[in-house]
Amino acid sequence: MTSSTSTRTVLITGTSSGIGLHTALAAASAGWTVVATMRDTTRAGALRAAADAAGVSVDIRALDVTDAAQIESVIAGIVADHGSLDAVVNNAGAGRVGTVELLSMEAIRDTMEVNFFGVVAVTKAAMPQLRASGGRVLTISSVGGIIGQPFNDAYCAAKFAVEGFLEALQPVAATVGVGVCVIEPGAVGSEFVANAGVDREVMLAAAGVYGPALSSYLARTAGAFANAQAVEEVGALVAGALELDPLPFRLQTSDGARAFVGIKLSDLDGSAVTGFTGTWVSK
C-alpha cells in the first residue's frame, strides 16, 4: 500500500456490532483512521463505548449500503475530511434462515440486495480512490460462500455471488494496484444470529412438511454456535489483513473454517458436500 502510515484511512461498513465493531477497534488500535459506518447511527453507543474503553477514536457515519447516493456521499466526505481512502472492509450484511418454498421473493431479493449488491455498490464507488492510494478491498464472506447450507438458500446464494464477483475482480484490480480479499468466518459469537430474526418456535410452526428437517438443522446450528469463534479474534484477524503482504485472495478465520471449506474446494463432483450437509437434516 502506498499511503503513509499516518494518513491511512479505512472505511468499514456494518460496525454497530459484531465483526464490524471489533474490526473498527482493532484497526484504530493499529493506527488506522477508521471511518465506521452503520445504517442507523442511533445504534452507535456500543462502538463509542468500546472505543472510549480502548482509548481510540473512530469517525462514525451513517451508511446504508443499499443507497447508492449515500455511498457516493460518504466516500466523497472521507476523501474531503481525511485526504485519502486506503482500504474498504465490506462487512455489512444480514442473515436469512429459510428454504425457498418458505421464503417470499421479497425476502430473497432483500437478502441479495444487502449481502451482494451492497458489496458491489461500495466496491464500485471506492475503486477510483483505492486505485489512487494503492489500497485494498476486504470483504467479509462466509464459509456459506463456499458451501451451500440447508435453510440458508438466500444467504448462501448472496455469499456465493460475492465470492464469484470478487474472484473475477481480483486479477483485474491487481493490474491497477488494488488488492482484493474475501474473509470466510465459520460460526462467530456475535449478534449475527439474533439479527437474522430466528425464532425457533415460530419457524417450526410455519415449516409444514419441512418441520423435521428444520428441527434437525436448528439443533445442529445451536451446537455450532455454542462453540463459536470469539468475535474479537475475528475482528483482529480482519484488521491484520489490512497489512498482509502478500494479500491472499481467500482467508479463513479459524482451523474449523479452513477444514470446512476444504471439503468443497477439493470436491470435484459435489458428492462430498451434499453428502455432508445432508446429515444436517436427517435423523
For residue 166, the domain's CATH number is: 3.40.50.720
Give the model's pLDDT for residue 168. 94
Comparing CA positions, the residue from 114, 118, 107, 145 lying closest to residue 251 is 145
Q: Residue 222 — pLDDT band, cuts 50, 70, 90?
A: confident
Indicate the average pLDDT of the chain.
Answer: 92
Q: Does residue 218 form part of some domain?
A: no
Q: How many domains does the chain have?
A: 1
What value does the mean pLDDT take over residues 71-92?
98
What value does the mean pLDDT take over residues 202-223?
92
Note if 155 is an active site residue: yes
Domain that holds residue 168: 5-196+230-276
In the block, residue with C-alpha cell 478491498: 137
Give the model's pLDDT for residue 193. 54
What sign results for the dihedral spanned by CA atoms 116, 117, 118, 123?
positive
Give the model's pLDDT for residue 270. 77
Q: What is the pTM of this model?
A: 0.90
φ, ψ of residue 103 to 5 degrees: the values are -100, 140
Q: Does residue 215 form part of some domain?
A: no
Provide CB contacts within 8 A for 262, sequence distance 6+. none
Q: Does residue 36 form part of some domain?
A: yes
Catalytic residue, from 155, 192, 210, 260: name it.
155
Q: Does residue 52 form part of some domain?
A: yes
Q: Does residue 176 form part of some domain?
A: yes
Dist CA 254 CA 229 (whole Å):
8
Here the cell at position 127 is: 475503486
Give the model's pLDDT for residue 4. 43
**Element containing residue 35 per DSSP (H, E):** strand 33-38
> Which has more pLDDT, 227 or 149?
149
pLDDT in tens, 137-174: 999 999 999 999 999 999 999 999 999 999 999 999 99
Provide CB contacts within 8 A for 150, sequence distance 6+. 99, 213, 217, 277, 280, 281
3-state secondary structure of 79: helix
Q: Does residue 207 form part of some domain?
A: no
**Element containing residue 61 per DSSP (H, E):** strand 59-62
Q: Does residue 214 form part of some domain?
A: no
Spatial contact of 192 and 152, defined as CB atoms under 8 Å apart:
no
Give the model's pLDDT for residue 55. 98
Q: Is residue 27 predicted with pLDDT exceeding 90?
A: yes
Dist CA 96 CA 156 (whole Å):
9
Here the cell at position 133 is: 492510494
Q: Does residue 224 form part of some domain?
A: no
What value does the mean pLDDT take over residues 120-143?
98
Give the model's pLDDT for residue 268. 77
What value does the mean pLDDT take over residues 239-247?
96
Q: Is residue 274 predicted with pLDDT exceeding 90?
A: no
Residue 118, sorted as left (phi over 0), alpha (psi -120 to 50) or beta, turns out to be alpha
